[in-house]
Structure 1
Amino acid sequence: MRKNWNEAFFGHVSVIITGQLTETFINQAVREGIQIWDVKRLDEQRLVCSMMLQDIKRIKPILKKTSCKIHFNERYGFPFLIKRLMARSGIVIGIILCVAIVFILSNMVWHIEINGADAKVEEQIQKLLKKKHIHVGALEFLLPSLNTIETDLSSQLPKVTWVGVSKKGTTYRIDVVQKELPKKEKVTGPRDLIATKEATIHHVYVEKGQSVVSPDQVVQKGDLLVSGTIGKTEDPSFVSAKGEVIGETWYHATTTVPLKTDYETFTGATYTKHELSFFGWDVPIWGFQKQPFKYEKHERSTKNFRFLFWKLPIAYKKIDYRQYDHTNRQLSEAQALAIGKVDARDHLLRQLPEKSKVLQENVKSQQIVDGKLVLKIFFIVEEDIAKPRAFSTQERKEEIEKQNQEDSEE
């Protein structure tokens, strides 16, 4: 009879049957469905054969009927291996503990490498990682996914332009690209303050230099506001002009506000499933609902188990479900107008100097187009319009001398 995997798993034995009716014993056993193979006769009263371990009890009545006896010759298969191992329990426990320790160490974070960050940002990253329990010694399959770590770090590090998180073996690598903030321009010589745009002057605050404009005066882009030349015209001094020139400026803005909006709102309800994957087959271990919510979004993270340098065909899967509701918002024209004015004002102020403020706003036109309210708004703003412009002292002296000559000739 051809052997198969059942023999190894359930165990089989080689036995010697002794008696006058050994052939009758074999025939009776086969008729009752007992698997027997490798039958060989040793002499007139003995034969050797193999059978499944689970059939030993079934042959006892047959042995009794045929007056045969059985002697076990060899034992094979998993049950006998377990029995032999149990006899050496100390060695078995040691092997199991050794494998378990190596398995845990293989799935543990041993090193976190941060590249591209200065000392301050690196310290911030380390603190954020510890809050998420990402540290040397943490079990890798219990940590958030790489995408989640990237998103959280990017949102909480204002001085960082880009964060990349990768994993190689037991090492997490975090690559950082920091923002290159514009360096403050150092004052290296005499400068004037000139207008950055057309405006009506409201206030002039001069720390250094000589003001050449006054309140209510209208200036154009590029006009001189504060001169870096001070003192007498016969013996002038040159400084780097410093101060603020607050002027009234004007802007036109166009914005649109949908009157009807469909959007999704998360309710805060969550549901988590935990699974173990063996060779591609997913086995639920916690959370058995097929569809926890009617409207849901889910995020799946998969962590493969490792043993030393090898990735095992076993993985831990975590699926987080978040419930959301569909909501429709219908705005009246008045409500849309109020929202549009606030949005347009905020958008404008984000593009202006820090201390700028809106003095007045007038809606020039409003109309509904394709379900959207289209607004055209005129803003009057108060802002600092001064910016520095360097000049050559030699050229400035020549200009002053020329002006003095023209004045004397007159």
Structure 2
Amino acid sequence: MNGPTAFIRGYVKITIRGERCEQFVNLAASKHVEIWDMRHLPGQGIRMKILLSDFFRIRPLLRQTSCRVHVEARYGLPFALHKMSRRKAFIAGFFLFFIGLYLLSNLVWKIDVQGNVNVTEDEIRKAASAEGIYVFQWSFRLKNQEELSRQLTHRLPGVSWVGVEKRGANITIHVAESTKPEAKQLMNPRHLVAKADAVVTEIFTEQGRAKVRKNTRVKKGTILISGIVGSDQNPQAVVAKGKVKGLVWHEYQVSVPLLQRERTYTGAFEKRNYLITGNRALQVSGYGKVPYEKYEIITERSDAQVGPYKLPVGWMTEKLMEVHEIERNITEEDARKIAIEHAKSDALAKNGPGAQIRDENILHQEVKNGKVYLNIHFEVEQWIAEELPIIHQ
């Protein structure tokens, strides 16, 4: 029953205590009293939610079963209206809000700039302000979008086109800058050397002279592709280009606890609703203390729109999900598998795209202080070349 209908009609969370709580529930069901979220409490008690109209119907049932009732929380529109009725200034403001909503929707609230790289956003905003585009400007005072686009393009040097897009209270300025030929990057002569001890598995030379072959064992700093070409009598330094792959050995020390903790949802939740105006939120339902010891909040927001226009007002719902921590013991074998997977993921992430694990070996494994400790050796095939500038003597 917990939904829009219950919110409109109003409902309460109550606790029933007494020796005949189950009989009370059966009698309430026979009288068609709607009950949901019912839970048994330690001792002789039951917590439940019922509609506000049904709350006044259960008094004869309480007397008949000698049970006591305690109201823990109140929810819904009737209670919200009752609270608002005691705040005359709020009611007046509520009506003034809708009166002013139309006026506010005709103001410019936000200006975004997109597409600029070399032209600064400050320069674009100054040019836009000179053409009447600024925050809190009346929308009907703006020039048409074609005129604005033409004037802004004229005002901004280095820009080939400017587009102005208006959506509700937001304006987006799209900038297309004039293209310039990219300056060719100057590259000094260089070698390609090994960045780690490895065994070469693949080598492709685009420019320069290969100094190693497949299956060659190399040390860190060994020249793989030389940037010196030509004869000994007439050597020439060039930019060595190419790709080299090799098998590299990595060693990892990983620990995994045998006691794992997991967080799960129990299925119970509470809701809070807010009316959003600008950057402010007014709570309209879900008052009271959160009944859960541990919970997570999931927020959903929806903004009001009139056709394609977005208004500076909306509705936000917070869902407070009760969570429960579960502890479970895993076997030493499961902990070993988890440790290996973590080490593999780290090895692949750290050694760049194209890295592949060719072999693995567990060097040492022990259980100490409730954890499994592993020393793992990986053989990873990865790119091993890095640049080394050629310094002329």
Question: Quick check: which one's helix share is greater?
Answer: 1
TM range (shorter): 0.3 to 0.5
TM-score (norm 1): 0.45
TM-score (norm 2): 0.47
